[in-house]
Amino acid sequence: VVRRWLLDEQKRVDGRKMDEIRPLAAEVGLLPRVHGSGMFTRGQTQVLTVCTLGTVSEAQKLDGIDGQEQKRYIHHYNFPSYSVGETRPSRGPGRREIGHGALAERALEPMIPSVEEFPYTIRLVSEVLSSNGSTSQGSICGSTLALMDAGVPIKRPVAGISCGLITEGDRWMTMVDIQGVEDFFGDMDFKVGGTEKGITAIQMDLKIVGLTYDIIKEAFEKTYKARMYILNEIMLPVLPAPRPELSKYAPKVKSIHINPDKIREVIGSGGKVIQKITADCGVKIDIDDDGTVVVASTDAEGIRRAISIIETIVNDPEVGAIYKGKVTRLMNFGAFVELAPGKEGLVHISKLDMGRVEKVEDVVAVGDEVIVKVTEIDQQGRINLSRRDALIAMEAKKHAGK
């Protein structure tokens, strides 16, 4: 009955025309605490996608025949039983869920910026809230919205749509945006994801022997028109472009390049130096063999401090430069200040303050952070510091600013 009605009347079970899409809706920013979120609704099909950003070191590691590979863009698709009004135990993902997740992942992968442009690991999770066909294509649309909401600079927005087919002898009819009953009774589920410029992913489920060229051509034409409608009329009016800034809850990332020969000094014996920087500044540090250092944290000040320490470690202190250091030891003749792990200098008692100092303990204590100026590096590499000169320089800079 359904097949004949589609072929003879060219009407569908819900009264739509063959090239008509179900009612559409799109929203972004539904979940304020996550890094990005987008919900896409098509008829009774509704998908909520969440985007999470992490550091490059959190990329998924895959063991293959050719060795270990890393995957920095990941898409997971979940199809809970309640989305189709059923109750069953929630177990691991099945073949269908893995396949749908892979399709949506592949549709968006060409649009993901390179690690040089966007040094983050990106994870998308699509949760199907309600299902009546085409949830994988809804996941593509929801994922695009979530990425843009998270501030990921994707090259172009991607949308997905399905095309169905009914055949009887030499007669055939295609239809866009098939729902569950049309998928069940129809001969084809042709899923197409892409941008305004072209196609990024295709999957076809076919129940007949094959397709003619005319059927394929019409399927591509109908899905292109449908994608353009979804993009231009539904998705882009909600969020025309990726947000200019990341969520305040997303980790901030900054990278610098150091001499590869200095990597050992930054890591330290048994990792002591890098662990201390990580603990003191509340950051995560990744170092590549080529000398690229990536520092990540939700605290921008922590990133700045960590990079300052690393630069001090890899660069020899310069005479005349001002640094912030921590007092490590007190002696009768002055205080030792650590500029960076493994680099310590002496502030003589005569250069501790603006006036005369009777006791070192009257001015500083162990653990205090002080600003000091490098006054001399002798032939043995010992660093002489002056807190007094640093205070004078800072005061002069303050007055100059006014």
pLDDT given for residue 255 in this prediction? 86
Q: What is the mean pLDDT of each run of 10 residues along the chain (402 residues)?
A: 82 88 96 96 96 91 84 95 90 91 96 91 97 93 98 97 92 92 90 96 93 95 96 97 93 90 89 91 90 90 91 84 89 89 87 88 89 88 90 83 62
| Residue 188, amino acid | M
- Domains in the chain, please, with CATH? 2-238 (3.30.230.70), 251-315 (3.30.1370.10), 318-402 (2.40.50.140)
| 280-307 as b/e: b if 16+ CB within 10 A | ebebbbbbeeebebbbbbeeeebbebbb
> What DSSP state is assigned to residue 174?
E
- Using a 10 angstrom Cβ sphere, with 0-12 exposed, 13-18 middle and 19 or more buried, the burial of residue 65 is exposed
Predicted pLDDT of residue 188: 93
Q: Rounded distance, CA 29 to CA 48, Å? A: 11
**Residue 321 φ/ψ, nearest 5 degrees:** -80, 150
Length of the chain: 402
pLDDT at 313: 86
Is the distance from CB of 164 to CB of 188 less than 8 angstroms? yes
> What's the pLDDT score for residue 402?
58
Q: What is the pLDDT of residue 138?
A: 96
Do 193 and 231 meet the contact criterion of CB atoms below 8 Å apart?
no
